[in-house]
Amino acid sequence: MTAGALALAGRHHFIAPPAGTEKVRMRIKKSQDLSISILDEINKLIYELRPSLLDDLGLVAAARWLAGNNLETAGIKVDFKTVGKEKRLPSQLETTLFRVIQEAVTNITRHAGAKNTSISLQFKRSLIRVSIKDDGKGFDVEEAITSRDRPRGLGLLGMKERVELAKGTLSIRSRAGYGTQISIEIPLKQAVDNW
């Protein structure tokens, strides 16, 4: 036996687990798994909760908060602006837009590697237009949307669905190396009639 093997054998003997340790390890593993799934649940609940910020202060303040809380906290610059006269929208529509901006912002922090972003909310008499732009690495939109690996039903497809339910349109322009721009347009009159 070589010296190294001897040392290993000795060490192995020294740390050999006492009877029952494997059971304890399994229990720890189980409770770790449980904590992780509880955390996932909590995160889901928080995500689903309609933030009172949105009810109380409206979409613009809530969108500003999202940008500050996610992007700026991650060290990404935000150029935030509104165009036109800000007004409160039907609450379902505000929720839709809030969720879409939330997903876009989350995607930027998670995937884009961006330094700068710009978010604009344009209020017109008959429509609202939201644009979220980043100068990150960009991606192949077609591929991302048709990917079958989408068990959670959130993400880009969820955004599109939410916007289409509100009779709006969502377009994503992205190119590897050139960043991403998401534009959403929702007609207001029609939305008001339908909600």
Ligand X SMILES: Nc1ncnc2c1ncn2[C@@H]1O[C@H](COP(=O)(O)OP(=O)(O)OP(=O)(O)O)[C@@H](O)[C@H]1O
Q: Which residues bind Mg ion (CB under 5 A)?
A: 107, 155
168 binds, among Mg ion, ligand X, none (CB under 5 to 8 A by kind): none
Task: Quote the strand ranges of the chain, DSSP E.
Answer: 77-83, 116-123, 127-134, 169-175, 179-187
- CA-based Rg of the chain, rounded to a whole angstrom? 24
CA of residue 140 relative to chain centroid, distance = 18
- Give the whole-angstrom CA distance, residue 188 versus residue 93: 9
Residue linked to tokens 């237009």: 129
DSSP 151: T
| CB nearer to Mg ion: pick between 89 and 95 | 95
**How does strand 77-83 pair with strand 116-123?**
parallel
Q: Binding marks (x or -) toward ligand X, 146..165, rule CB under 6 A?
A: ------x-xxx---------
Restricting to residues 75-94, name those near ligand X by CB under 6 A: none
CB 142, min distance to Mg ion, A: 16
When binding is defined by CB under 6 A, the residue of 62, 76, 78, 108 that contacts ligand X is 108
Q: Which stretch binds ligand X (CB under 6 A): 22-30, 38-46, 63-71, 135-143?
A: 135-143
CB 174, min distance to ligand X, A: 7
Determine phi and psi for 70, rounding to 5 degrees. Answer: -105, -60
Site membership for ligand X, residue 144 (CB under 6 A) = yes
Residue ranges in contact with ligand X by CB under 6 A: 107-108, 110-112, 134, 136-139, 144, 152, 154-156, 180
